[in-house]
Every structure is written in structure tokens, then in C-alpha cells.
Amino acid sequence: MGYWAVLLLSIAITASADNALYDELKKSPTLKPAPSFSEDGSRDSLWKYPITESLAEQSHPINADEGKDYLPIYINVNEELPFHYKKLIEDSLYLQLLMISSVGFLTLLPQSITSWDMEELQKQTLAQRWFENVSSTPVWDNDDWTINYIGHPVSGAFYYTMARNDGMSIGESAAFSALMSTFFWEYGYESFAETPSIQDLIITPLFGSILGEGMMVLQGKLDQKGGVIFGSRSLGNISYFFLDPLGNIAHGMRDVLKTFHIDLDVTMTIQTYPGARTVRQFPVLDPKEDSIRAREREIGFIITFW
């Protein structure tokens, strides 16, 4: 019984103290209680804590139109692209693994074939060698003729047929071959070892595209025969592989990863959002300066692998 009496007495004292404090707040010229919530959504409903009237007058709540400038904007590139473009992008990522492996294989070949002096190359870091080579004027290289005039056109043809089998047109496939052979190979991976070659910049995409379209004609004839050569479907499958080796290897790598429950789904997202300097909580004198202009938005490019 004694415990209940103490509890009731504590509640009564607390209630009395709260009422007294509220009465003092009403009498004070500087302290004000928190504004009540209004039904019309006016300024008073935005503030939950006691603040001075001058601060409340300065505050600038964000309305619906201004909120658009404060919120990030996401543009999923994949959703905007046709299916065959998305397929080519994913195959191109697998292709990068093959190109990197090719660089490793070339380092094992004798200098008489690659013209790479490994002792000389080791005197600089990878970054130093790459920057020096890409900033130099392309040179006429002295590689073996089989590499320059057979190997490189065949490589260009493989780039081309992969794009064509992913649904690209003749022009798009030729552009893809040029992109892979120049930007990714000559000015990319190979520039860690040597200066870009004049022959390779021209011959690989040009003759590679011509050869690649011829390979597509052969693939069409193979399709007409049901994928059979001399009565053998195995020979037909081998022929299919060599007519589009890069595409078949990319598909094989995708199947292997799926056995480990790994799906390389590439999502490219462009995100725009207002720069921190443009977000204002209080109004300025000039209303024109209070709006966030499109040119003030920052842009981020995100690539996600799943």
C-alpha cells in the first residue's frame, strides 16, 4: 500500500511542475512554447522545437517544384538501350578478360616476334610506360609480317563477327572493331609495352571488317546446311566456333559463372544531383539566384556488376 501512495504522489508532483513551467513560458517575453500543428500545413507545423520568431521568418521550406532540384535523378542506361546493345556490352566485358590474357601470352613470346625488350621495359613503371607511349606519335612498327598483315586483320574480324552476331549492323560492327582495336588495344593494353602502330590502327579495323563480313557470309551458308559439314555436325560446330570465337568464348564464360551462381549483369546508371553549394536553406535577396540551375548539377557515372 505504501508503494502505491508514493507512486500517486510522484505523478501529482510531476503534473503540477509541468503546469507551472508552462505558465512561466507564457509570461516570458523571450521563451516561447513549440508552435502547434496546423491543419493547413502552414509554417508552424514544420517546427517541433521552440525557436525564435526571427529564425522562423527566415526559414525557407522546400515546395514541390523546388524539391525536384534537390532530389537525385537516376537514368538507367541499360533500360534505355535495345536488347542487342546490352548483350554486346556484356560480351565486351568478357572480352576484356581475353585481351588482358593476350597481353600476358605475348610477354612469353620471344622478342623476335613481339619486339618487346622486357629488360628495357622494366626500367619504368606501368603507368610511366603507358603515358609515354600514348602521348607519342604512332610509329611504323617492324613486327613480323604474319602478325601485322594476318594476325591483326583476323583479330579485327573476330571483333566484327562478335558484334554482328549480337545483332549489330555492318556499320555498327565496323565501328565496334575500330573501337576495340584502337582504343582498347593499341591505346590501351598494348600501350603498356609499345607505341601504337600505324599499320595496326588502319589494317586491323579496315581489313578486319571486310574479312569479318566474309565470315558472316560463310556462317549464313552453314546455317542453310543445318550446321552440318560433310555430313558431320561436329565439324559444323567447330566451324561455328572459329567464325565467331570471341562471342562463343564470352557465352562459355557466362555459362561457367552461372554454375557458380554468378550472373554478370551490368547496370550503367547516370546520376545527377545538385552540388552542395547550391542547396540553400534560407532565401536570398534576388529570387533569380534562389533557383538551382541545370548547369549547377553534378553528374556521376556508375557501373554496377551483379
Average pLDDT over residues 150-160: 95
Distance (Å, whole) CA 162 – CA 249: 10
Question: In terms of Cα–Cα distance, which of 297, 271, 305 is closest to 76?
Answer: 271
299 by DSSP, 3-state: which? strand
301 pLDDT above the threshold of 70: no
Q: Which of 97-111, 130-144, 208-222 has the highest mean pLDDT?
A: 208-222
Distance (Å, whole) CA 69 – CA 80: 23
Dihedral, CA of residue 106, residue 107, residue 112 and residue 114, to nearest 10: 50
Q: What is the largest CA-CA distance in the chain?
A: 107
142 pLDDT above the threshold of 70: yes
For the chain, helix, strand, coil in percent to 5 are: 65, 10, 25
The structure's pTM equals 0.65
Residue 267 β-bridge partners = 304
Domain ranges of the chain: 1-59, 81-262
Q: Running DSSP on this structure, what letter comes out for residue 177?
A: H
291 pLDDT above the threshold of 60: no
Distance (Å, whole) CA 162 – CA 252: 13
Q: What's the alpha-carbon Rg for the chain, to the nearest Å? A: 34
pLDDT digit string, tens, across residues 243-278: 999 999 999 988 888 888 776 666 666 666 555 444
Q: Give the residue, 276 or 153, on which the prediction is more confident.
A: 153
pLDDT digit string, tens, across residues 58-115: 444 444 444 455 556 666 666 677 878 888 988 998 898 889 988 888 888 888 777 7
Q: Which of 21-25, 139-143, 164-168, 236-240 has the lowest mean pLDDT?
A: 21-25
Concatenate the DSSP letters of all residues of 8-64 into one string: HHHHHHHHHHHHHHHHHHHH-SS--PPPPP-TT--GGGG--S---HHHHHH-----H
